[in-house]
Amino acid sequence: MTSIFRHISSRLLVLPLVLSAAILLSLSCTRQPSYPPAAQQGADIVIDAASLKPDVPTFHTYRYHGKNISYFALKLDNKVLSFLDACASCYPHKQGYRCDDGSVTCRYCNMQFSLYKLEKGLGGCYPIKLEGRMENGKYLIPISALEAEASRF
């Protein structure tokens, strides 16, 4: 009888550890990643267009009022585009996108989008377009445009 109680009590001691580990894992898997910040100059985020690899999104995070506002820049056919790491549908889950070969995939709903269709993307789960402009080989994103989207993060 004593060995039964020892067996049960040892299992009861392990249970809180297992539950704690499961909770930590689930939280870490559902949080949106944080990326390195891009350079800032005045009222703009500055990305060196020459540093962007063709067809490969480069993710960055801008910190504003305690929130991480993530976005990515992308060079397609010698044109630079930028998007929030969020969409109109799934942003409440705060998981963003991952880059797959030639596409981005929503981490929440697993919808996949070709990089070449992002600019004209229609629908709730497409990454939200972020306005930017080219000047002297640099792609500039107004910081005010990022701050205006803080509610999505």
- Provide the residue-wise pLDDT of the chain in tens; the chain has 153 residues: 555 555 555 544 444 434 343 333 333 445 678 999 999 999 999 999 999 999 999 999 999 999 999 999 999 998 999 999 999 999 999 999 999 989 999 999 999 999 999 988 777 899 999 999 999 999 999 999 999 999 999
Cα–Cα dist 57/65, whole Å: 25
Cα–Cα dist 62/69, whole Å: 5
* pTM of the complete model: 0.78
- Domain spanning 39-152, CATH architecture: 3-layer Sandwich (2.102)
Q: How wide is the angle at C-alpha 134 spanned by C-alphas 82 and 68, nearest 5°? A: 35
DSSP element (H, E) containing 142: strand 138-142
Cα–Cα dist 94/108, whole Å: 8
Domain residue ranges in the chain: 1-30, 39-152
pLDDT at position 124: 81
Nearest to 95 by CA among 26, 9, 32, 24: 32
Q: Are 72 and 59 in contact (CB under 8 A)?
A: yes
User: Exposed, middle or buried: residue 21 (CB in 10 Å: 0-12, 13-18, 19+)?
Assistant: exposed
Residues 6+ apart with CB under 8 A from 39: 45, 46, 47
